Structure 1
Amino acid sequence: MAGRNPVRELLRSGRPIQRLWVQEGERSGSMSELVALARRQGAVVQAVPRARLDELSAGVVHQGVVAAVTPFPVLELEQLLELVGREEERGRWPLLLFLDGIQDPQNLGACIRVAAGAGATAVVFADRRTAPLTAAVSKAAAGTDAHIPLVRVKNLAQAISRLQQEEGITVYAAESGGGRPYTEALWQGPVGIIIGSEGTGVHELVRKRADGTVSIPLAGPVESLNAATAAAVLLFEAVRQRGQAAMKRH
């Protein structure tokens, strides 16, 4: 993992770091903070030339710091079902983000960051048609991938069906040219949102499993929003409606 913000979020999450490489001669305040955090967690800290960081980061902008971490702790469908069940036992409404065909690492990372910011329960994506979880994804997520469960499934449509049947999740698919306006949808209760790629949208087999479709009305000469922007609009509408419901209960 490379970059100061992603590494800082990683360290704060408690995810194990084996080694932290920092640029020789770099002693700024933020770098000193990262070094101190890493040492407190028992990581080896090593100062190396910038050229070595360029090699380690594989082209990702590193800002003078690269961390060696354990592989992404990706969950499977059965673990997601257990996680959703625990949320409901605690009296919380699960909020899931399903990603269908997001192949751009920057967009995938941005979607993860948005979901983490909205307090979503998990981000779910298919084995195929999804960008691999690389350092570029973590960089785009600003390290927030360490704060939210990521779930990889073999078949997204089948996973959605099981969540609907076993956990009562209501699932909406985002569409750029159809569906009811997103503000008219009910986002209270256990809810999932399907976001497709900007080019192809949600695949037909996946869309058919949704309980309904929602759209984001656009005022300008733009046909659609990118995946992360659409996810942000819809997730935070869910946050808004849930907040209002919580206020009424109290």
Structure 2
Amino acid sequence: MAGNSARRNRRNPGSKKGASVGTGGHSRKALQGKGPTPPGAERKGHPKQRAANAAIKRERDAKARAGMRRAGGGGRGGRGGAGSAELVFGRNSVVEALQGDVPANALYVQQFIDTDDRVRDAFQAANDRGIPLMEAPRPQLDQMTGGMNHQGLVLQVPPYEYAHPDDLLVDAADAGQDALIIALDGVTDSRNLGAVVRSAAAFGAHGVVIPERRAAGMTAGAWKTSSGAAARLPVARATNMTRTLEAYQKAGLMVVGLAADGEAEIGDLELLTGPVVIVAGSEGKGLSRLVSETCDMRVRIPMSGLTESLNAGVAAGIVLYEAARLRAKR
């Protein structure tokens, strides 16, 4: 009889009525809860999630722009801050930097670049110097250079390691020589700085001192102009040029400033034979007032009346030659 059936609560396949035995939630088809509804910022397609993603992208782009500012951007070698890398881009600029022994961390090359003689020269120079080649899509190079015309080549130059002004005195003492130092006051042309470094190395100076602010730094352009001398001669940065010169005076050095209206001529100047700091200013403004007042003597380079002034690179070279000549006669 139906009431005595051992199959309790079993539904007749042909009937829609009656209870059916469930799985008890143990089979693979059991229903599972999804838990509480997640916040809007975590739900795909939700307006709050789109807003959160946009905020993350803005922050990432801001960091990328800050990185580009630190890295520099001029095609001829933009100057970054202290301890910052520099980017050199453009085919001619990159080839000149590589062939001028400018130090580099990597050469970024655009994917599917159209090769020419300059690209091949860049590849060859980088390979000879063991500089890694990094292939990158054009949008990445555009972002690195701030949208400038990089022509598919971007060279990353490491930050220059500046010495401390006191290190130059130590180097002179270690060599058993009277210190011969060049200081630049307000020189903003990196090529002038490179020329001074080259002359200083050629005539036996112990280093170059430059201001930390409002002055040219050791960029790729300065490296190239120095023709490798920047790798041999230390360049120091002074937080305050006047105080640095005063510290040199306390250490026994004479401070000689170059000025068009100097009270003495540079020829046969006895001060150049001892420990001395030669200070050169910019071609236009010359020495600043405080630096000029700190000098023990201001001297001039004799010139014809047709020439009013010389740039720092030329003036420093003349004075350094005279110092080397006088010291050789001792």
TM-score range, shorter chain: 0.7 to 0.9
Whole-Å separation in 1 of the counterparts to 2:322 and 2:96 = 27
Deviations 1:36-65 (A, max 9, x none): 5312xxx213689xxx9999889xxx9x98
Greater relative CO, 1 or 2 (CA 8 Å, sep 6+): 1
Normalised TM-score (structure 2): 0.59
Whole-Å separation in 1 of the counterparts to 2:228 and 2:107 = 15
- CA drift of 1:116 comes to 2.9
Q: Any residues of structure 2 matched to 1:1-250 within 5 Å, and which? A: 2=93, 4=95, 6-10=97-101, 17-20=104-107, 24-26=115-117, 34-39=125-130, 43-45=131-133, 67-76=155-164, 80-166=165-251, 168-186=252-270, 187-245=272-330
Residue 261 of structure 2: SS of its match in structure 1?
Answer: coil
- CA drift of 1:204 comes to 1.8
Does the CA contact (< 8 Å) of 2:192 and 2:312 recur in 1? yes
| Unpaired stretches in structure 2, ≥5 consecutive residues | 1-87
Q: Taking every aligned residue pair, what percent have the same amino acid on both sides?
A: 31
Does the CA contact (< 8 Å) of 2:238 and 2:244 recur in 1? yes
Paired positions, count: 233
- CA drift of 1:81 comes to 1.4
Higher radius of gyration, 1 or 2 = 2
- Inter-CA distance 83–98: structure 2 relative to 1 (3 Å threshold): closer
- CA drift of 1:135 comes to 3.1
Whole-Å separation in 2 of the counterparts to 1:148 and 1:236 = 17
Does the CA contact (< 8 Å) of 1:100 and 1:195 recur in 2? yes
Q: Give the alignment's Cα RMSD to 1 decimal.
A: 3.6
Whole-Å separation in 2 of the counterparts to 1:148 and 1:54 = 35
- Inter-CA distance 55–197: structure 2 relative to 1 (3 Å threshold): farther
| Unpaired stretches in structure 1, ≥5 consecutive residues | 246-250
Aligned AA (2:258): A
